[in-house]
Amino acid sequence: MADKIKITIIGGGVGGYPAAIKAARMGADVTLIEQNFLGGTCLNWGCIPTKSLLHAGEVVQTMKESKTFGISCKGYSVDFKAVVKRKDTVVKQLRQGVEGLLKAKKIRVVQGTAEFVDASTVQIKDTGEKIKSDKILITSGSRPGTLKFKGSDGSDVLNSDQVLALKVLPKSVVIIGGGVIGVEFAQIFHRLGAKVTILELLETLVPGTDKEIAQSLEQSMVAEGIEVITGAGVKEIIQKKGTNKVLYTAADQEKSVSGEKVILSVGRKPDISSLKVDNVGLVHENGAIVVNDRMETNVPGIYAAGDVIGGIMLAHVATMEGECAVSNALGKESIISYKAIPSCIYTDPEVASVGLTEEEAKENYDIEVGRFPFYACGKALVINRTHGMIKIITEKEFDEVIGVHIIGPRATDLIAEAVLGMTMEMTVEELAHAVHPHPTLSESMMESALSLYGGAIHMP
């Protein structure tokens, strides 16, 4: 660019900092404003710290199962402070990595809270500094959702951010909400030694997930020792010394369960609370900024991306949207396609999906469903992770794959093949004929496709 376009990005999370790097590579003069830590929710209070804790639980589970592999592993203990310290170390290292990347691209990073003055100017509330630019991208992210009922504001009632600040492992935990965040926390605390109960309002865990897969995950968690209560509407939390009694209704009966801590795991909400968006007339609905498929708001020159626009609140989606916004802001047209967006749950077994669920597909297509269980996969047997399956959904007219759902070992890695294939409008025949290495978990993807095209090799 002959004359550098000035762009200000509000929010240094996974929507903002990759967009800043892309903008710098495209030749823009970039200012990135972050009120807390670079990396945002994902790096500091979400994706990374929770996966660190989940892996600690996986290590515990491996030790419990060590005799299966002919190895005796007795006398282990969980040092929760050390587990937390490692989590914090990983987060700090990655945060410093982000800082280094931004510095290398000569991106100015401003620590503080941004608020709009006009359509081309933001002010740093903390210092009064005004920053004027040609384009502005809002990637201010989200905050934990809340529920309002008697006792929900108690000192032992924690949201998903507050949970990650715990330094002492609670003896028992009640988790209100059995979505993605809830089931991951449930397995973290259960495997590290706490008694865990999940209360979910709907009839299955992880609502929105393919029902067959969700039911399989619930069966696995219950078999592991996690208490799962679905159809449970929470009414009140009564705090007493050292415990919290959670009153709920299930099957038309009043019941209760107690825990040392209660976790409110009820999703996240877009966060525009400090931006003063009404100063520039930005349109927003239910707290989310409204954009088109180029990430443009109703105000020329102002864009928004990531959790702050609602929609699919996933880290990789925020990154994609932020980069799309920057491309358009700097004159290179880009449009978002949400056709093949993967969704992942990092429990053990893992869950991953892309495309339509079986329930959704039946509404619009004549479909076929293929399945291949991991108990028939040699590599899964080798690593003693045989619970689950790969499920493929196709529409009959063109045999195009329109949904892939996995529950089982390394599902979150395996789903990438399905994402690539669906992006390229893959047919089930093409997937079935693609040569997969042996012995690997990925063979199960091929076998699932073969179950729809000629028959799986390792199924009767």
Q: List, by residue number, the catalytic residues.
A: 438
Angstrom distance (rounded) from CA 284 to CA 299 = 12
Cβ within 8 Å of residue 154, ≥6 positions away: 237, 239, 244, 262
- Strand, helix or coil for residue 366: coil
Specify the 3-state DSSP secondary structure of 288.
strand
Going 294 to 300 to 303 to 304, the CA torsion angle's sign is negative
Q: Would the CA dihedral through 7, 12, 15, 20 be positive or negative?
A: positive
CB atoms within 10 A of CB 273: 12
Instruction: Name the token pair of 133.
Output: 């630019």
Distance CA 141, CA 123 (A): 19
Helices and strands in the chain, H and E counts? 13, 25
Pairing of strands 367-373, 135-138: unpaired
108-111 and 29-34 beta bridge pairing: parallel
Per the structure block, which two tokens stand in for 139? 């990637």
CA–CA distance, 441 with 78 (Å, rounded to integer):
30
Tokens of 218: 């619930």
Residue 373 CA to residue 376 CA, distance in Å, equals 6
User: Among 339, 285, 334, which residue's Cα sits nearest to residue 308?
Assistant: 285
Structure tokens given for 315: 């880290």
Given a contact cutoff of 8 angstroms between Cβ atoms, the answer to whether 115 and 122 are in contact is yes
Instruction: Measure the CA dihedral 7/8/11/15, to 10°.
Output: -10
Strand runs labelled E in 177-219:
195-200
**Cα distance between residue 9 and residue 17, in whole Å:** 8
How far apart are alpha carbons 348 and 161 in whole angstroms? 22
Helix axes 47-64, 80-104, angle to 10 degrees: 140
Q: Which of 440, 394, 433 is nearest to 414 (CA)?
A: 440
